[in-house]
Amino acid sequence: MIRPQTIPALVHHVARQRGDAIALAAPGREGTTYTRLLRLVEETGAWLTSRGYGPRSRIGLAMSEASEMAASFLATVCCATAVPLNPDATSAEIEALLVRLRVDALIASARSGTASRTAARRLGLPVFDMQGSATRPAGVFHLAGGVRRAHDGWVQPSSEDIAVLFSTSGTTAAPKIVPISHGLAVRRAFAEADAFRLSPDDCCLNFRPLYRGLNGGLLASLAVGASVLLPQGFDVETLPALLAAQRVTWFLANPAYNEAILERFGRQHPCTGHTALRFIRSSSYRLPPGQMAALERLFGVPVLERYGATEAGLIARSPLPPEERRPGTVGRAVCCDIAIVDERGSRLPPGDTGEIVVRGDCVIDSYEGDPQASAEAFFGDWYRTGDIGHLGDDGFLQIVGRRREIINRGGQKISPYEVEEVLLRHPGVSEAACFSVPHPTLGEEVWAAVVGRAAQSPDGAEVLALAGRYLAR
């Protein structure tokens, strides 16, 4: 099958295949079918085109309504470039982003767009009201505002046109602009769907804010005609009802969500009668093996790690059963090449520790408008992730820290991750963070902070004793 090359083509293709199937769902609301989603996309595209916007235009999206954010993104990229914004950011932060990303107009909801509206108006940018309602099907909205302009008609974007722009700090503190073309976005969507064996029968429960990432939970599901359930943020108390109501087959999580689930439900399955769930996907931070084991006991399904980057898409993932999984690793490479290199970019043999670099057709080739950052981010055609790790002979990748987080204690290089993993072995520790503080002779000294569980919280002596059993003095 020839796969679509742009997001509009993807939406049209899957709507023809899956017309009456549910594309977007939200708790307590009617689901939106693929046919209705296509109509919404086309109507919104025509509306934006009538206001003079096209593939070279950049439109900011600021809203906390999850399903409306998903639909707004899909509709916007079908005629212009979308710039997702954090609706909780301050007006000053949003204003700086609007300038840096050269945004032409803003779509904001009345519920969450106050700071973004203020920022846009200070810059003289048009602001369009995203008007949705809890009584409408999930994601359905209409736009208001703006003035009609003469135009040449709706211009379909090409695979090379930019679909979405993200601002990311990458491996340094300086923000960088990551352009994702339509072709790249679609390749990444199918790569995710293939890697996790998604099918039209799947339903993804996505708690994560969409301004942080649209591929893993949204586009990957749409690529195969599956459904996406989008609640308003993460509320652990609603998890049993969400799992049961929509027959969720997988959900996106991260260590913070996972910890909240374990704290709340302990050994009692959140939804005893639920049988549709087939895996849990964890990302954003390396998952402690103990937390993984506890989740798998609780739900009776595998927890799969996903390792990726805004610049590279999906890099590695845990194999799905019956293939071997390796707790403590992020799995094997998916749709890209992975290598470990030293500080000069020379490749290291299996087992040696160094920086993780990747290359492939899901990796960007440069940042926008920043040739220096682009040069620093690559060794030839290898993208530097900034993560430190090692690759086994069997291809399993283990991450041990960030390039700029490695602690240099008198010449000894120490990974914060390794210290945190030891501290998390204590049953009374729910979270741990290792970091450096200045030292007059060693340069840096190792410190750590822990968050204790109410019933089992350890004292300092217990934490130090645990560290002494597993870590060099």
pLDDT at 169: 56
Cβ-contact 134, 29 below 8 angstroms: yes
Q: What is the pLDDT of residue 216?
A: 77
pLDDT at 267: 66
DSSP label of 440? T
Interatomic CA distance for residues 104 and 123, integer angstroms: 10
> Would you state the structure tokens that stand for residue 55, as one six-digit string?
């593939």
Integer Cα distance of 164 and 170 in angstroms: 17
Beta bridge partners of 106: 60, 127
Non-local CB neighbours of 8 within 8 Å, separated by 6+ positions: 41, 45, 77, 78, 156, 157, 182
Query: Cα-flanking dihedrals φ and ψ of residue 46, to 5°?
Result: -65, -40
> Do residues 424 and 291 lie in contact, with contact meaning Cβ atoms separated by under 8 Å?
yes
The model's pTM is 0.87
SS3 240: helix
pLDDT score, position 118: 93
Three-state secondary-structure class, residue 247: coil
d(CA 285, CA 292): 13
Q: Residue 152 has what pLDDT? A: 67
The pLDDT assigned to 111 comes to 77
Q: In this structure, what DSSP letter does residue 277 have?
A: -
Task: Please give the full DSSP string across 317-371, using - where no structure is assigned.
Answer: EPPPTTS---TTS--EE-SSEEEEE-TTSPBPPTT--EEEEEESTTS-S--TT-H
Query: CA–CA separation, 466 vs 253, rounded Å?
Result: 28
State residue 371's pLDDT score.
94
Intervals of the chain under pLDDT 70:
1, 113, 150-152, 169-174, 267, 271-274, 285
d(CA 227, CA 217): 10
Tell which residue, 260, 249, 309, 264, has the closest CA to residue 284: 309
What pLDDT sits at residue 134? Answer: 85
Alpha helices in 272-428 (DSSP H): 289-299, 371-377, 416-423
Q: Residues 1, 114: contact at Cβ < 8 Å?
A: no
Q: Could you tell me if 179 and 165 are in contact, meaning their C-beta atoms sit under 8 angstroms apart?
A: yes
Do 226 and 204 form a contact (C-beta atoms < 8 A)? yes
At 170 the pLDDT is 46
